[in-house]
Copies of this chain bind each other. A is one copy, B any other.
Amino acid sequence: MDNLKLENQLCFPVYALSRHITSLYRPHLEKIGLTYPQYLVMLVLWEYEEVTVKELGHKLWLDSGTLTPLLKRMIESGLVTKSRSEHDERLVDIKITEKGRLLKQEATSIPEALIKELETDEEQYFMLKTQINRILAVKESKNI
């Protein structure tokens, strides 16, 4: 087997699937004015209400080089606010706004719609997620 053939790579299917999933999200997210990475930030904030940029970076595996400009756009659209932490001035707190909170209602139908569009049954979907998470756990264990 030729290891340098596109069809024999694992890397490419993962890369292609990631972009494919993002493109399926796009029309849904466009309706509520979010990009896909911004949606991931909202998922965190719908759950935690307030996080530091550091925590956000840890959860989404993104650095400040990506998050700073992304959050700037989310502040401009009124979904979050930003302030230096009182305890530690190095940290920046990101808080969800009322507008951001209300957006959750409009997003509830998205996950289900996506599963349908991927045409993957729940069981296959769950197995895939489990397998990928098993691989990601190795990275996680090395980083913390």
Q: Contacts of A124 on B, CB cut-off 8 Å?
A: 131, 134-135
Closest to A137 in B: B119
Chain B binder among A39-47, A71-79, A90-98: A39-47
B contact residues around A18 at 8 Å (CB): 14-15, 17-18
Q: A115–B46 Cα gap in the complex (Å)?
A: 36
Is there a chain B Cβ closer than 8 Å to A31's Cβ? no
| Residue tally, chain A, CB below 8 Å to B | 53
Min CB distance A68 to B, Å, is 18
Report the separation of the CA atoms of residues A10 and B22 in the bound assembly, to the nearest whole angstrom: 11
What is the bound-complex CA distance between A5 and B43, given in angstroms?
Answer: 6
Asked if residues A17 and B14 are in contact (CB atoms below 8 Å), the reply is yes
Known interface pairs A8-B111, A119-B138, A127-B131; 11 further A-B residue pairs with C-beta atoms within 8 A, sorted by A's residue number: A2-B47, A4-B104, A6-B43, A6-B47, A10-B115, A13-B136, A15-B36, A17-B136, A20-B139, A128-B131, A128-B135
When A and B form their complex, which 8 residue pairs have the shortest distance between CB atoms, in order from nearest? Answer: A18-B18, A3-B111, A13-B132, A6-B43, A119-B138, A10-B129, A14-B18, A128-B131
